[in-house]
A and B are shown apart, each in its own frame.
Chain A
Amino acid sequence: MSSHEHQISESLKYASYIQRAIFPSDALLDSLFPDHFVFHKPRDFVSGDFYFAARKNNLFVVAVGDCTGHGVPGALMSILGITLLKEIIAHGNFSTAGSVLNRMREHIMAALQQTGEESEQKDGIDLALCIIDTKQNTLNFAGAVNPVYIVRNKQLHELRGDMMPVGIGAEEEVPFTSQQFELTEGDCLYLFSDGFADQFGGRDGRKFKYKPFRDLMVKLSALPMPGQKMLIEQTFDAWKGNQQQLDDVLVFGLRYHTCS
């Protein structure tokens, strides 16, 4: 390896440490969601996929984002995304998941100076965000392109996101839709990026796709969380085989437990 390549590789490694430091720590995740798993497989050193978790009073916030691009550009966007989410959750007055995404979009547009000009870069984040109210046992969800899956008694419920990114889109901004869902003990929630479903592999070298992905989630839900992670990892590796990983892959799963 040339000295130049070595330098780049070292820089990227260092960047990946920084990115990891910005992600919620295992200890924080364990304290917020004792029963959870994170399957995160970046394509490069650093990742355009990110996850986020926080708590404000009785509200628990969890989000999984997928930024435009992967590698360094994606990672920079992911840092912006996590920072904005932290800021909005900590200091903003949010009532619904949609209002968090609305506010986040304003910040991204302002930060990237997006005004809808045709020539400008349409960078943004696909994101699924859940606010779990443990007192009310409710889930408030808003999605930018990405959905959330809730599996209860081997039945999968999908809350779909709006078809617009967090960032400037082709159409004029409209508010993100907030959806409310009653949670019960043992419900499994899955937030994810498109990396798994879009991975080429298998015997015919085709995409994994969402139907098998949903089936996989249903299958997983019966297992304890560590087992779920193991199975998902095995499934992904087996599917990918010798194919190249095309995108970052992230699946965040948690099992809901009522306070009582």
Chain B
Amino acid sequence: MKITAFHIRNYRSIVDSGKCYLSPDYITALIGQNESGKTSVLEALKSFYDGYISDDVLRSDLTFPEVFCYFQLDEGKVLGDYIDAGDFPEELRKKVVSKNEIGIGRIWSDSKKSVVLLAEPEIVYYFENQEVIKNKIAERIVSQIPDLVKQVETASHSLQNLESDAKRSRNELNTIFAKVEELKRNIGKAKIPDTKITLEQELVIAEQQLFAAEEHLKADLADLENKKIHLQQCTEQFSICRAFNETQTDLNTLAGELKSIAFQVQDAEHQYGIGTSDRNIRSLLKNLEQVREKQAQLQNQFNEKTVLRSVQQRIADYVLSGKNIKEAEHDAWKDYEAESKLVTVDKMGAVMFKHIPMFEFFEDFSSLLPNKIDLEDLMNENIHAEGYKAARNFLSVAGLNADFFREKNHRILKQKIENLNSEITIDFQDYWRQSVGKDDKIRIHFELEHYDNSQPEKSGKPYLEFWIKDKQERLYPKQRSRGVRWFLSFYLELKATAIDNPADRVMLIDEPGLSLHARAQEDVLKVFEDLSNNLQIIYCTHSPNLIDLNKLYRIMAVQRVRETDEKSETIILDARSLNEASSDTLSPIYSLMGTRLNDRQFIFPKNNFIVQDAVTFHYLDAMARIFDLTHEAHFIPASGGEQIPVLANILFGWKIGFGIIATDTPENKEIINYLKSTTLYPVMGEIDKKIFTLEGIAAIEDMFSTIDFKRHVLQQRVGITVSNSSYLADNKLSRVILVSDFCSKMQKENLQVKDFDEETRANFEKLFSYIRSFVSNISNVTN
């Protein structure tokens, strides 16, 4: 997998970086002033990988960091190849299994604890939505409790009334029944016919009353039964809702306790770390173990309660929807089991995290190549031995292991080492172009030697000896400059890591090559280029030599919102928004343009032309090549129109012949009038001939026809109805990046005059014919 972008929140001065895209060719340079937050970006990425943050990372508002990295999956692979489609919730399945780019986030909940999760918008939205739904259900459940209490009270009151009613009805029935029985007995005893008839009539009435009373009682009992069921339902609903609420309260309490115990653990760890005596340490360790155990217990309780709450919530939801408690319990557990089988954002995150590249942070190459190292130290991995890391890297690069040195035949071993020496030297020299002597380049050699009697304790033991040599001399590494040693160690480190960890890796390098000469810094870039097939490199730099002017898409600018305020937050601008970066932040790029100028020895005794700025310089320089004017004119960039008089003064003072090519802006008109009016310039004579104003051209880009501007500069098909310079300003496009792209295109496609249309040709021909006439006029040399 390759990392394509990152998004950092709440990490030191970075509040919210937004999604920042890395260079597509796997080499990204972070540029910016000191204290801008460049190193924080590298550290945040490292923290993303190892989960470790130090206390100084936390912001004063104590918001915890969140770092998201976005990855392109390996070619031909999709998310469904890593996580079984059936493990996704059904709603998500179709949307996400075919994804070939994913985001993974690490979110800290305290300084030690973080969770890794899949940060794909659809997935996150789904789970957040689920959470919202669950919270709404929880709120509904809790909000029902007072109502349910009332319902239970009302139901039990009604039940009591009904019971009284039923009792009354039963009593009445009994009374009527007794009366019926008595009437029956009296009828049996009655001897007088009239009396008997009267009693029989009374019996008929009493039996009717008895029937009515029986019906009444039945109705009362039925009501009573219904009320009982209702009361039972209300009670069940109330009980489960109350139980859920209690669990939720317990969970909140446990969460608080967990937070508190985390601090206790932290404190105990700290105390243990600074323990003095053995006894003290033992006691502190015991204390640490105790709090850790308590933490584990609390965590278990918390986990159990979390499960319980989840199930109770479901039961309560079902019960409130009318299901009976048994049915609700059955369904709730079934749901819970099904859901727990599905992947969650953190489970997905954990699965995918295993496949991401390894992030390695190189802050300081303190392990410089030693003069010599005992073979025993190397074989025993004695990391404290001086230069161990560099020496170990050397062996990895040379493809050597312990077996190599077990060769008994001293001659064969010597020969093997000699063969290896030439291989390593050649490989290394591919990158190291810097001459150390007059015309020589350095070579590195190593030899296997054995201690003599001068060191009796090591006598006869083998050691490796290293040499850095050129034609003139052979010196120990320590006799060489720190720069040479740094580069060598750096080269070995990168090479060795590539060999030891062939999988995808992301190298985070803080200010590589600080102690290197400019040329050697360019060599560092060459190493990056070579290694970028296997690894991705993100590095911070102030050095223009570590930036390729033709590959400005690699640049990521880091700066403070208020540049002079180190307390203001850090913003990160990737290549697409580089134009928003301040000129101070972009200074390595501008310096680079200056460096290139130095390379070219750009001030000549005559035929120099001061131009507006570095961008103008590069366009004119490129077009002069295309129009074959290279040897006739030498352009000198000012840093803006207002600097033209300064440069003019310097050149005049140095008695260097020059002209001025000015764009047609109100500001430049003022500057030109100023130049003409100063007492200095009339001395030069024919001042008007020395200043060429590009009429109607507000910026150098306007020299191109719209069609050529689109084809060769913008490299995009779009309708442009304003001047090219206005289009750039309106769309906030970076002139620096565009001129870089143009120069790159010019070289790549070998652009020629015929590749430009009539309008462009006419504009440049007009300027260049002025230059030619200027050049042919010997008076351009200032006397």
Contact = CB atoms under 8 A, between A and B. Distances in A.
B759 A175 contact: yes
B707 A174 contact: yes
Interface string A136-156: 000000000000000000000
B758 A173 contact: no
Given A102-B705, A102-B706, A114 B711 contact: no
B750 interface: no
Contacts of A110: 718-721
Given A102-B707, A106-B706, A175 B757 contact: yes
A116 interface: yes
Contacts of B716: 115
Interface string A105-117: 1111111111110
B354 interface: no
B717 interface: yes
B711 A172 contact: yes
Nearest to B715: A172
A180 interface: no
Contacts of B720: 106, 110
B228 interface: no
Given A172-B711, A175-B705, A175-B707, A106 B719 contact: yes
A107 B720 CA distance: 7
B719 A107 contact: yes
Interface string B688-708: 000000000000000001110
A232 interface: no
B717 A106 contact: no
B710 interface: yes
Given A173-B710, A173-B711, A174-B757, A115 B705 contact: no
A175 B756 CA distance: 10
Interface in B715-774: 716-721, 757-759
Given A102-B705, A106-B706, A174-B707, A115 B717 contact: yes
A105 to B, nearest CB: 8
Contact of B759 (A99, A106, A111): A99
Nearest to A108: B719
Interface centre among A114, A168, A172, A173 (most CB of B within 10 A): A173
Contacts of A113: 719
A115 B707 contact: no
A172 B718 CA distance: 10
Given A99-B759, A172-B711, A175-B759, A114 B719 contact: yes
A173 B717 CA distance: 8
A107 B716 CA distance: 16
Interface in B640-670: none
A107 to B, nearest CB: 5
Given A102-B705, A102-B707, A173-B707, A168 B757 contact: no
Contacts of A175: 705, 707, 757-759
Interface in B586-603: none
Nearest to A112: B719
Interface string A87-127: 00000000000010011011111111111100000000000
Contacts of B719: 105-114
A101 to B, nearest CB: 11
Interface residues of A, number: 20
A107 B721 contact: yes
A103 B723 CA distance: 11
B690 to A, nearest CB: 28
A168 B716 CA distance: 12
Contacts of B711: 172-173
Contact of B718 (A99, A102, A103, A109): A109
Interface centre among B707, B719, B757 (most CB of A within 10 A): B719
A77 to B, nearest CB: 15
Nearest to A105: B719
Interface in A154-184: 168, 172-175
A167 to B, nearest CB: 9
B706 A168 contact: no
B644 to A, nearest CB: 28
Contacts of B759: 99, 175
Contacts of B718: 109-110, 114-115
A177 B757 CA distance: 10
B763 to A, nearest CB: 13
Nearest to A96: B758
A109 B714 CA distance: 15
A116 B710 CA distance: 12
A99 to B, nearest CB: 7
Nearest to A109: B719
Nearest to A116: B717
B701 to A, nearest CB: 15
A106 B705 contact: no
Contact of B717 (A99, A102, A112, A172): A172
A111 B757 CA distance: 24
Nearest to B710: A173
Nearest to A107: B721
Contacts of A103: 706
Contacts of A108: 719
Contacts of A168: 717
Nearest to A114: B719
Contacts of A173: 707, 710-711, 717
Contacts of A116: 717
Interface string A10-21: 000000000000
A168 B719 CA distance: 9
Contacts of A112: 719
Nearest to A117: B717
B461 to A, nearest CB: 72
A115 B707 CA distance: 13
Contacts of B705: 102, 175
A107 B721 CA distance: 5
Contacts of B758: 175
Contacts of A105: 719
A88 to B, nearest CB: 10
Nearest to B718: A115
A120 to B, nearest CB: 10
A13 B720 CA distance: 35
A108 B719 CA distance: 7
Contacts of A172: 711, 717
Nearest to A93: B696
A103 B758 CA distance: 14
A103 to B, nearest CB: 8
A102 B716 CA distance: 16
Contacts of A114: 717-719
Contacts of B707: 102, 173-175
Contacts of A107: 719, 721
A103 B706 CA distance: 8
A218 B135 CA distance: 85
A172 B715 CA distance: 10
A168 B720 CA distance: 12
A106 B706 CA distance: 8
A172 B719 CA distance: 12
Contacts of A115: 716-718
Contacts of A111: 719
A83 to B, nearest CB: 13
Contacts of B706: 102-103, 106
A206 B718 CA distance: 40
Interface of A: 99, 102-103, 105-116, 168, 172-175
Interchain residue pairs A-B with the least CB separation, the first 6: A109-B719, A110-B719, A116-B717, A175-B757, A106-B719, A110-B721
Given A107-B721, A175-B758, 15 more contacts: A99-B759, A105-B719, A106-B706, A106-B719, A106-B720, A107-B719, A109-B718, A110-B719, A111-B719, A112-B719, A114-B718, A116-B717, A172-B711, A175-B705, A175-B759
21 contacts: A102-B705, A103-B706, A105-B719, A106-B706, A106-B719, A107-B721, A109-B717, A109-B718, A109-B719, A112-B719, A113-B719, A114-B718, A114-B719, A115-B716, A115-B718, A172-B711, A173-B707, A173-B710, A173-B717, A175-B707, A175-B758
